[in-house]
Amino acid sequence: MSLDRHDKMVARVDAWARRVITLGGAVIIFSVVGLVGFILYETYPLFASPVIEKTGEWALASRISPAKGLEIGSDEYRETSYRLDDKGNLDFISLESGAKLATFSNPLLHDRVVSSHRMTRRNFVTFGAEGGRAGTAEIKYLANYAGKKRVVDPSVKYGPVFLLDKDGGGISKIAGYADDDGNVTVAGFSRKSGLFAASYRLSGDEAPSADFNPKAVKLEAPGEIVTSLAISSQDAAVFAGTESGFVFIFSKSGDVYALREKIKASDVSVTALAFLIGGEQLIVGDADGKISEWFDVRHVRLKNNGSQTAYAGGLPVKPGEEIELPDTGYSDKKAGLDKAFTLASGGKKLLKIRSFESHKERVEIIAASPRDLGFATAGGDGTVAYHYSTSGRTYKVWKPGQKADLLVFSPKADGLLSMGNDGMLYNYSLDAKHPEITVGTLFSKVWYVGYPGSQYVWQSSGGTDDFEPKFSLMPLIFGTLKGTLYAMLFSVPLAILGAVYLSQIAPSSLRNAIKPMIELMAAIPSVVVGFLAGLWLSPIISNHTMSFLMMLVSVPVGWLFFVLVWWAIPRKKRPDTSGAGELFFLTPIVLASVAAGYFAAPGVESLLFHGDLKQWMYSTLGIVYDPRNSVVVGLALGFAVVPIIFTISEDALSAVPPSLTTAAYALAASRWQTAIFVALPAASPGIFAAVMLGLGRAVGETMIVLMATGNTPIMDLSIFNGMRTMSAAIAVEMPEAPVGGSLYRVLFLVGLLLFVFTFLINTVAELITMRLKKKFSRL
C-alpha cells in the first residue's frame, strides 16, 4: 500500500470518526434539551389562567313563560337546563337549541314562591312561599341511548310542602340541605315571625302527603333581620347573615338548635352566604361588595397563673388574665408555652381567613363549584367574578349582557349558567385549568381547613371527594436538603479521611486490598441498601437508641483517651505500629469504646431519662421518635455516597506530584503533616469535585430515602423524625396522578426543580474546581 493511499484512508477514517463523535454529542445535547423541553411543556399549564367563554344565550320569556325565575340549573352534560319560577313551575329547555322540553308543576303548592336555594352538589331545590310554607324538589336526569344520539330525559321528584312559619309570614330567605340517607334540614326566615328550622326524613319513592307537618324550631336572633342563609353539610348547622353585619351560627343536636357563636363578619349588611364543597369554608358577601372566606379554627383559652407577665403566641398576658389563641399545639403540649399558663378551655371559632377582589356594589349571589373549591359571585354592579379558595385569587371578572339575578355551576364544574333580570339565560363553558396552583401556594405558607394557621403542607390526596389538595413544595425541598445534609455529614469525613489514609499513609498492600472493596460498594443496588436500612437497620437503632447515642460519645472519647495515653508513653517504649500494624492496633480500641457505650447505655438512660429516652423526649421536648428517621437515612444514604467521594478523592490524592511530598519529608514533616498540609490542599480540586458529585447523588437518590424513611412530608430538623424528598414524592405519587391533572403536572415541576438543583450543583462544582486548579497549578 502506497503512503498516499494510506494517508487517504486515515483521513477518511478520521472524517467518519469526527462525524460519529459529532453525531453522538448532538444526540446527547438534543436529548437533554428535549427532556427539559418536555418537562417545561408539562409544567407550563400549571400557571395558565382559567378560560371562561360564552357558548349561548336564550330569551326565556319568549320561549317558556315571562314568570320570574328563582332558581336555575343544568344536567351534567350541559345539554338541558331548568328554571324554577315564582309559581312553583319547573320548566326545562335545551341548551343546544333553546327549545322548551317539558314543564312540571307542584300539586301541593298553592302560594307564590318568593325564595329558593339549590344545593351545591345536587339539583336539590328548597323553596319558600307566601303564607309561611316551604317545600323541596329534586331534579333528576336519565340519559336515553335508544337512538343514535344521547337524549337526556328530565324528571322531578317533589318533596312535601309544609308550614315553616305557623303565623303565615312569607319566607323571604331559605336554605336547605339533604344528605344521602334522605335526612333533610330546611331553614327559613320571615319578617313577620323570625328564623325557623325544620328537620325531617324523605320517605323513599312515596308521594308526599298534603298534611305533612314537621316540627319547626324557632332560632333566636332577637331584633335581627336575616338577609342570607346557609346550612353546613358537615353537621347541618344553620348560618344566618343579618342586616347588621353579624353571622349567627346555630348548632344542631338532635332536633334542638342552640346558638353556638355570633361573629361580626362585616360593618354593613351580610348579603350572601354560601358553603364551598365539603361544608367547611363559608364565603361571605356584604353590601359593600366585599368577599371573604371563613372557617372554623380550633382555639384555646390560656390563663396566666403566675406572678409575672408571661407571653403566649408572642403576646403579653398579665397575671390572672386569659388569652384566646388558635391552637397551634398548646392542647397537646407540642407548642412551647410558659409554665405559668394553664389550659382554661378550648373549642372551635369561626375565623376570617382571606379576602378576594371586591365588587363595586353589593354581593348578590355566591355560587359554589360542585367539584372543587372554586366559586363565582355576582354583584349589584352587573359584574360576575370567578374566584378560587386555596390560592385566594380572583381569576376573571366579566359583565354579562344583563345583570345576573341567578348564577349556578354545572354539575361537572365545566360550565356556568346565569340568568338576567329580563329573563335572558347565558351559558358559559369553564376550563378551570389548575386554579389551586400559584407560586404562592407552591412556595409560601397557606392556611388550609383544619389547620390553626398558615403552614407548608404537602398532601396530594384524601379519602373524600371534597378533599382540599395541598401542594406546597417546601416540605419536599426541605426533606431533600435534610436527607442530603445528614448523608453528607456521615459520608464526607469518612470518605475523605479514608482516602487520605489509604493514599498517603497505608502500605500499598493494604491499599490494593481495601480500595477495590470500597469501589465495589458503589455496585450495590440502592433498593438493596434501602431494604436493609428500612427492615434491618431501623429496628436495631429503634430498639437500642440510647446505646447508639452513647456510642457516638464513647468512640471519640475512647480514641482521645488512647491518644493521650499513647503520648504519655516514652517514644522508645511505644510498640511498633508501622505499616498495617497501626490500623490493626486501633481496632480493639474502637471495639472497646463501642462496647463501653453499649453497656453504659441502660444505666445512663435510667439515671438521666427515667429509664425511657423516647418517652422523656416526648413528654419534655415534644419530640416524637419515628423508627424510620434521619439517622437511618443518613447512615444508609451515606453508605451509598461514600464510594463516590472516596474513589475520586483517593485518585486525586494519589495524583499529587511526589516532588511535593518528598520536599515536605525533607523538611522533617511527619506523614500526617504532609498529608494534611501538603497533599490535601494540592488535591483539593479533585476532592471538591468528589464531594459535589456525592452531593448530587444524595440529592437525586430515590429508593434509599423511599424505603428508609417514614415518607412523612414534614419540616422538622429533629434527627428522630423522617422526611419526604422530591425524588421519593415522584416515585410514590406518579402512579396515582391522573394524566393532565394538577398532581401530575406538579410532579413534573418537582422533576424540573431536581434538574435545576443538579445543574446548579454541577455548575458551581465546575467553577470552583477550575479556580482551585488554577490556584494550585503553580505548585
The mean of the pLDDT values for the chain is 86
Print the domain residue range for 7.
Answer: 3-47
Lowest mean pLDDT segment, chosen from 245-259, 268-282, 569-583, 621-635: 569-583
Residue 88, C-beta contacts closer than 8 angstroms, at least 6 positions apart: 105, 106, 109, 113, 127, 129
Grid coordinates representing 53?
367563554
In a domain, 53, yes or no: no
Chain Cα centroid distance, residue 654: 49
CA-to-CA distance for 300 and 118, rounded, in angstroms?
36
621 and 770 share one domain? yes
Least reliable range by pLDDT among 350-354, 570-574, 737-741: 570-574
Together in a domain, 578 and 445: no
Instruction: Say if 64 falls within a structural domain.
Output: no
Residues 559 and 467 grouped into a single domain: no
* Whether residue 257 has pLDDT greater than 60: yes
Clarify whether residues 454 and 499 are in a common domain: no
Considering the domain architecture, whether residues 606 and 712 belong to the same structural domain is answered as yes
> Which of residues 87 and 304 earns the better pLDDT score?
87
Q: Can you tell me the distance from the alpha carbon of 731 to that of 534, in angstroms, rounded to the nearest whole number?
A: 17
Determine the pLDDT at residue 778. 62
**Mean local confidence (pLDDT), 536-559:** 90
Specify the CATH number for the domain of residue 603.
1.10.3720
Judged against a pLDDT cut of 60, whether residue 739 lies above it is answered with yes
3-state per-residue secondary structure call for 499-523: HHHHHHHCCHHHHHHHHHHHHHHCC
Handedness of CA 263, 265, 267, 269 (dihedral sign): negative
% residues pLDDT > 70 (the chain): 94
pLDDT band at 206 (very low <50, low <70, confident <90, very high): low
Least confident of 149-158, 237-246, 690-699: 149-158
Position 275 pLDDT exceeds 90: yes
- Tell me the mean pLDDT in the region 677-682: 86
pLDDT band at 776 (very low <50, low <70, confident <90, very high): low
Tell me the C-alpha distance between 713 and 723, whole Å.
5
Is 451 domain-assigned? yes
Cell of 474: 417546601
Q: Which of 378, 387, 389 is nearest to 426 (CA)?
A: 378
DSSP run (H or E) holding 43? helix 3-43
Q: Burial level of 142, CB count in 10 A (0-12/13-18/19+)?
A: exposed
pLDDT bin (cut points 50, 70, 90) of residue 336 is: low
Higher pLDDT, 517 or 325: 517
pLDDT at 334 over 70: no
Q: What is the pTM assigned to this prediction?
A: 0.87
pLDDT at 87 over 70: yes
The residues that bridge with 229 in the sheet, in sequence order, are: 240
Shared domain check, 577 and 466: no
Q: Are 403 and 68 in contact (CB under 8 A)?
A: no
Using CA atoms, how far apart are residues 384 and 59, in angstroms rounded to an integer? 19
Closest CA to 374 of 433, 324, 331: 433
DSSP 220: -
Cell of 449: 381547613
Residues 460 and 519 in one domain: no
Q: How far apart are CA 361 and CA 381, in angstroms?
A: 5
- Domain assignment of residue 500, yes or no: yes
With bands split at pLDDT 50, 70 and 90, how would you rate the model's confidence at 335? low
Per-residue pLDDT, 53: 93
For residue 567, what is the enclosing H or E element?
Answer: helix 545-568
Same domain, 566 and 466: no
In a domain, 459, yes or no: yes
Number of H helices, E strands in the chain: 18, 33
pLDDT for residue 329: 59
Cell of 772: 482551585
Checking if the pLDDT of 1 tops 60, the result is: no
Q: Does any domain span residue 443? A: yes
The HSE-up count of residue 376 (CA atoms within 13 Å, CB side) is 31
Band (431; pLDDT cuts 50, 70, 90): very high
Bridge partners, residue 176, by sequence: 186
**627 and 537 in contact (C-beta within 8 Å)?**
no
Asked if 228 and 212 count as a contact pair (C-beta separation under 8 A), the reply is no
Q: What is the pLDDT of residues 515-545, one digit of tens each?
A: 888 888 888 888 999 999 988 999 999 898 8
> Mean pLDDT over residues 601-605, rounded?
89
- 443, 590: one domain: no
Identify whether 361 is part of a domain.
no
Residue 300's DSSP bridge partners are: 325, 346
The pLDDT assigned to 494 comes to: 92
How many separate domains does the chain show?
A: 3
206 belongs to a structural domain? no
pLDDT, tens digit (0-9, with 9 covering 90-100), for 566-599? 788 887 777 766 656 666 777 888 888 899 988 9
Least confident range from 120-134, 264-278, 303-317, 454-468: namely 303-317
- pLDDT, residue 577, reads 66
What is the rounded distance in angstroms from the CA atom of residue 375 to the CA atom of residue 369? Answer: 5
Q: What is the pLDDT of residues 712-733, one digit of tens each?
A: 888 888 888 888 999 999 999 9
Residues 679, 765, single domain; the answer is: yes
Residue with cell 443538579: 758
Q: State whether 529 and 630 are in the same domain.
A: yes
